[in-house]
Structure 1
Amino acid sequence: MSKGLIEIDGSLLEGGGQILRIALTISAIKKIPIRVVKIRAGRGKPGLMEQHLKGIELVRDMCDAKLNGAQLGSTEIEFWPNKIRGGTYTSKIKTAGSITLLLQVAVPVALFADSAVLLNLTGGTNTEMAPQVDYYTEVFRPNMEKFGATFDFELKKRGYFPKGGGEVKVTIDPVPHLNPVTLTDRGKITDIYGWSYTSGSVPIRLAYLLAENAERLLKEYGHVAIQKYKEDPKVGFDNSSGIILVAETDNHCVLGSSGLFRKNAKVEEIGEEAAKKLIDTFKEGGCVDEHTQDQIVILMALAKGESKVRIGSVTLHTKTAIFVIELLLPQVKFEIISEGTTNIIKCRGCGT
């Protein structure tokens, strides 16, 4: 192993792209040189795919890093970060690779730049195997704001599988530090709302069908208001259909789920599946849902003070995030306390 590099085994735990994303984020913010080996070894096609490569290159540009081994199919990279600089950065995924996954790695890094960061990103906005970009803005962003940070978001075009081609602009102002949070009492659900959409040649009646099946299951938990619409052809020109659901509580918790139409699936199943995922979150009693919990631990680790967050079941992605963070930041330790159907994650952040 090269001198001064911390080596991370990408085959462990989740065994996919998340290990790489978490490692790059912490490496860039804390200026820790890393070597990641066995990248995506747990996947059917190991190594870097287009979206992973673009994520690495984006963070490289943001912190003027020295980078070795970053090419399609590579299973090993070395990354030496420097100072994170503000400015405008562009990343174009040629496939429908997820823009949301680019945001997951780049937004926390941008929070610690020396001036504002503008990201121009191209790729998939609403795709399988990643949260839809609407989830990132409507569910993750409110949770991020509890730590004292946010971002501005402009959707220019949507990109669906398999073509991609979506375009977004994201502006992030740096913060002096992240604030610790205590989210241990979810409270009562007060609002359930969302968006059900179609685009291209998909008829709008399918948006109504998606919403109706979600509303049918969710109505026992309170008033449900789901907007049904067909995307403007200038914004969403390819064929797609999906749904994003959000729930808020009287203690300001924000939870969510989503569904995306896929080949050979019945339209009514998509709305039902999204509703059931949200209901499962309700029943577990956590203050964040499964897709926010693994991202929020990054913010907890970087916050100035002790954070406590109640979650439901600890996902493999969360275990993976904690593993990578503790490996790179030995001064940061997480504690998970089981309480019935929930768990409380505790962490005293490093305050950077």
Structure 2
Amino acid sequence: MDSAAVEIDGSVMEGGGQILRVSAALSCITGSAIKITKIRAGRSTPGLRPQHLCGLQLVSDLCSGSLQGATIGSTDISLTPGKIRSGNHTADTQTAGSVCLLLQVCLPCALFSESSSQLCLKGGTNAEMAPQIDYTVKVFKPIMEKFGVHFDCDIRMRGYYPKGGGEVVVTVNPVKELQPVIMTERGNITKIYGRAFVAGVLPFKLAKDMSTAAVRTIRKEIKELYINIQPLQEKEKACGNGNGIIIIAESSTGCVFAGSALGKKGVYADKIGIEAAEMLLKNIRHNGCVDEFLQDQLIIFMALAKGTSRIRTGAVTLHTQTAIHIAEQLTQAKFTITKSEDELSSNINYIIECEGSGASNPHL
């Protein structure tokens, strides 16, 4: 079937692991074989890293596929998908590779199986360069429900850089098809809350310092809301040492945003708190309905949905543009992005519109 494989250039646009995740998931769902070349070609360590390899093996396992060229450092792989299998699947990055990125690649596939799936994902739960697991649960999950996607996330163990050791069990229910989503009115911010955590040997004072600094930063701009950022000491359910913070904002129309940051050696705790707060404020200012991190994660679902989705965003990220490029290559979905001047804020925002391909689950 290799002659009919769709060729994907892994070095285009954002040129990272995201191209692999979107391509592999869509290959699995549409049944088209793919060949990805020049994987992460521009990165300091080109080719597949352990977490990418782990994600590809998971998808191949989910779709009874045949995967060629999948070794660490490989820059070319091909995947020929078979039938999507429900049931139990396990993926272990064996590093602090993000379980949230593993979920990004396998969740869409599991939706198109015949019955519910249990995905046991092991690695980092609160890792750099990836959503924290709290983001997945508090921001990604409620918005997914608008598409008709339902999953449960049981955080059995938290894992941090560099050890990993985290474990999350995700239960996914299949869908017949995905509903299109319209999110164009942000409304007012009604609630701001979060968690500032320390784990392992790190002192609880760090959690309090992150929380206090974050609240102080947000207060300067948003005076009317009570802001509750809980300082927490992770006890039994944490592997290794780590600290970090995530702050969530909810709007009157059901939009959810976040700002987050993780502690690094030699960086003061209040600086981490301020970084997360500023990230949240930046994502509230543009008056869009999703933050910059959710933006690209929604593209694959918009592309698969039956009907037209419309989402108002801030500046369109390179990750989002890349996801659109891949989705249009592998499905019949058509995206358009229009700039919309907003009289309420001086900021410019955009409407991402998608005529979805209407993927249907053959097993239901």
Q: Is the 8 A contact 2:165 2:239 kept in 1?
A: no
**What is the aligned residue count?**
350
Match of 2:362 in 1: none
Counterpart-to-counterpart distance in 2, 1:74 and 1:231:
37
For 2:181 and 2:273, locate their aligned partners in 1 and report how far apart those are by CA, in whole Å: 33
Indicate yes or no: 2:334 matched with 1:333. yes
Match status 1:342 vs 2:353: no
Indicate the residue corresponding to 1:223 in structure 2.
226
The alignment status of 1:101 with 2:101, answered yes or no, reads yes
2:304 corresponds in structure 1 to 302
What pairs with 1:222-301 in structure 2 (closer than 5 Å)?
222-232=225-235, 234-301=236-303
SS state at 1:202 partner: coil
Q: CA deviation at 1:2?
A: 3.8
1:206 partner SS = helix
* Letter paired with 1:335: T
Trace 1:61-100 onto structure 2 (pairs within 5 A).
61-100=61-100
* CA deviations over 1:24-47 (Å, ceiling 9, x no partner): 011111111000000011211100
Task: Say whether the 8 Å CA contact 2:255–2:290 is kept in structure 1.
Answer: yes
Deviations 1:12-33 (A, max 9, x none): 0001111111100111111110
C-alpha contact 2:164 2:239 (8 A) present in aligned 1: no
CA contact (8 A) 2:312 2:350 kept: yes
> Is there any run of 5+ residues in structure 2 with no aligned partner, and where?
342-347, 360-364
Partner Cα separation in structure 2 for residue 152 and residue 282 of structure 1: 27
1:319 to 318, 321, 327: 321
**2:152 alignment partner AA:** D
* Equivalent residue number for residue 57 of structure 1: 57
Q: TM-score, normalised by structure 1?
A: 0.98
The 8 Å contact of residues 135 and 257 in structure 1, kept in 2 or not, is answered as: no
Q: Does 1:181 align with 2:181?
A: yes
- Cα distance in 2 for residues equivalent to 1:145 and 1:243: 25
Q: Deviations over 1:227-266 (max 9, x none)?
A: 111001x211421110011100001111112110012222
Secondary structure at 1:158 match in 2: strand
Is 2:51 the partner of 1:44?
no
Paired position in structure 1 for 2:156 = 156
Superposed CA offset, 1:120-174 (max 9, x none):
1111111111111111111111111111112111111111100111111110000
What letter matches 1:48 in structure 2?
Answer: L
**Aligned equivalents of 1:80, 1:48: Cα separation in 2:** 18
- Matched residues in 1 for 2:259 and 2:118: separation? 27
Q: Give the TM-score taking structure 2 as reference length.
A: 0.95
SS in 2 for 1:113: coil
| Partners of 2:146 and 2:215 in 1: CA distance | 29
Q: Is the 8 A contact 1:92 1:122 kept in 2?
A: yes
